[in-house]
Structures are given as C-alpha cells and as structure tokens.
Chain A
Amino acid sequence: MRLYDEVHRFARDYINHKSLRSTWKKRKIKEAYERLTGKKINISCSTCFIEALLTIVNNTKMAARNYELKKGVVLQAFGEPSKTCTNDTLTDELAEWFLKNYPEKRIFFSRMPAKIKMAPPKDIEIIKPKVEEKEVKTVEPVAEVIPNEEPKEKPKKVKRAKKTPNLKT
C-alpha cells in the first residue's frame, strides 16, 4: 500500500481519538510529510503532526479501488490458482470476476460499489420456468334450496309470582 494511502486511512481516527495517536502513525505522517513537502516536522509538538496530516490529506489523493476484502480473507477459485488473492493483491477486475462467478463470496468483501450488476456467467443459460396455464372451469351458480324450517317455539317465560309483601298485622 502506498504511504499516502496509509496516512489517508488512519487520518480521521488520528484526529478524533487521542488514544490512537501511536508512534507508528507519527512515523508515517513524518515520512509522508517530508516526502511531500521536503520540510521536517517538529517532533516535540503534537499539533504539528495534525497540521502535517491535514496538509497530506488535502494535497494527495487516495488510490481509487472500488473493492476491498476483509482482513485475513483469501479468495480462491477452484482450478484457477492464478486468481488466488488477498486484500493486498485484489484488483477491481479480480473482484468483479469473483462476484460474477462466486456470488456467495460477497460476504467476504468489506467495501464494494453501492450497485453491482449481478450477471450470471456467460456459459450458463438461464431457462425461465414454464408456467402451466390451468383451465379454469366456470361453475354455474346453483340456487340453494333452503328448506323452510318451522320456527322453533320459544321457551315460554315463566312468570315469577310476585312476592306478596309481608303485612305485619
């Protein structure tokens, strides 16, 4: 990876998190700044590193690569050892080849363009499934004859006899 790309990658974290300002990052910034400007950084001044970092970020461009693999992943294609690659050796062409031929390996990518045209390999012909048209039988409506049922007799209400008030004599 190019030196400037490395600096670009950690620039945001370096500025935002003090705990991530490690020695190796300072070393990379110093190296990149000296290469870019020919000047030296005052190493005892921490803000000088941030200023140098901003100079690098504003004056250099990150190498454009659309695809990136997760760290530790090795992509391999059966019978094609020349296609074996890691994130360090991945190219856009190789990534597209893998996504086209092994779409299931999509999970191993940490970065890829928002929209990818997923096309099947050339040697595979897609046959659309035949949809059998079923004959729809028209069913004539049949008038249902509902037998007249005699209305059931409602249970007679039993009238309760009114309680006669106890008359005290």
Chain B
Amino acid sequence: MTIGCNQIVDCILKNCSTLVPGIKDLAYFINYDHVDKDLSTFDPSNPLLLTSLVLKTVSPEAYAYCVTGYNFSNEHNTALVKKTYQKVWDHNFIFRIFDNTPEVKLWIRNAASSRFMVIIENNYSKVDIDGILPTGRTTFEVLGWDQGLELNAGERNTEDEETLGGWLLTAGSSDKIKESLPPLSYFVGGTLATTRAAIASMLAPCCDD
C-alpha cells in the first residue's frame, strides 16, 4: 500500500486571510483536444496543483480564447457527487454573454458541440502570512481537466431583467462521467507573475481587442 494514499495526512488550521468571494469577469476557454497532457506537469506532492499547462502544436493554431463577462457575471461552483462505489466531482461554469450577434451565436453553436477546459481567476488570492508558501496559488483554477466541460444549458430570454436579452450559458461536466478531482489550482513557476505570463503566451490574438 502506498503511504498516505487515501488517508488524511495534514491539518487544516484557522485561515487568517480573509476569503474573497467571486471570480473575475475574464475566463479562458481552451479546446480539450488542444491541451498537451504529456508535457503538462503537476506538483509532485499534490495532484491538485497544476504547475504547467502546455498547448499542442497543431494547425490551425491552438489558443486560449477569452470570454469576458460584465460586473461579476461569471460564476463557478463545484460539488461532490456520490456514485455507488466512488465519489466524483461536478465542475460548473455559468456565464453570460451580453450580445446577440451572428458571431456570438456561431460561438455558442460551436461551444455546444465541443469539449473544453476553462481557466478561471478567483478574486481570492491568498497571501501566506508565514511566508512559507508563495502568494497567488489560489488565484487561477482549471475546470474540466479529466474529460473537459460541455455546454449543458443555454438560454436567451428577451424579457429577462438580468441579461436584457443576452445569453445565459452553463458549462459543466457530462451527466454521467464526472471529474475525478476538484478543480485544479494552476500555478506556474512559483510566482503569480510567471503564471500570468504562461497564460499570456497561450492567448488568442482576439484577446487583445
């Protein structure tokens, strides 16, 4: 038996940092097939800490595509799902698009028939008071690492008071096959700055606009 496998080996102490709810309006969508899992790396002591996410070299080029909300319109939730023998995790990303152009509809149609990962940026960026751990490990998270997310719901109500005729979309895990782990923390090179640089190197040129 592997030592520490499926056993609790650490404590959770009082968090002196103040939690900040919510995620940023900017999220990044990456086509599931474009992620090079062979070159992507994890922290050797923690399989929930993704230390490098590398895109494949394909044609047309693989990118991380921006989806920008407005005024905290993006939401994320994750939940444990108990199956008969094992426990799995449901990842959900709810976002709103405040537009209805043919390009937006084409994007939604393409997203509806694809699988993707989503990188979200939490508002909570923990500063370790003891100074042992680097700052910013709680900032970015990757959803859908195992199977990818899919568009589970999409609706547009022209009378809706929230979206005013925009789109409300829900991306999440499949109904039957869920993720084996909670969302992965994404932290590259030991600093938040290098993590942001890694994301910047993946961005599609349309993100500049």
The interface of chain A, by Cβ under 8 A from chain B, is 1, 6, 9-10, 13, 17, 20, 22-24, 27-28, 69-74, 76, 84, 86-89, 107-108, 110
Contact = CB atoms under 8 A, between A and B. Distances in A.
B32 to A, nearest CB: 14
A107 B56 CA distance: 11
A70 B60 contact: no
B201 A6 contact: no
Q: Is the interface of A mostly helix, strand, loop or mixed?
A: mixed
Contact of B202 (A6, A20, A72, A84): A72
A142 to B, nearest CB: 60
Interface of B: 36, 39-40, 52-57, 59-64, 103, 188-189, 194, 197-202, 204-206, 209
Contact of B189 (A9, A13, A70, A76): A76
A72 B201 contact: yes
B194 to A, nearest CB: 5
A27 B208 CA distance: 11
Contacts of B200: 86, 88
B198 A72 contact: yes
Contacts of B56: 70
Chain B facing A: main interface SS: mixed
B204 A70 contact: no
Contact of A86 (B39, B61, B198): B198
A70 B39 CA distance: 10
A124 to B, nearest CB: 26
A22 B204 CA distance: 12
A108 B33 CA distance: 18
Contacts of B52: 72-74
A23 B64 CA distance: 16
21 contacts: A9-B61, A10-B205, A13-B59, A13-B60, A13-B61, A17-B60, A20-B60, A22-B206, A24-B205, A70-B36, A71-B55, A72-B53, A72-B54, A72-B199, A73-B54, A76-B189, A86-B197, A86-B198, A86-B200, A86-B201, A108-B54
Nearest to A90: B201
A108 B56 CA distance: 10
A87 B64 CA distance: 14
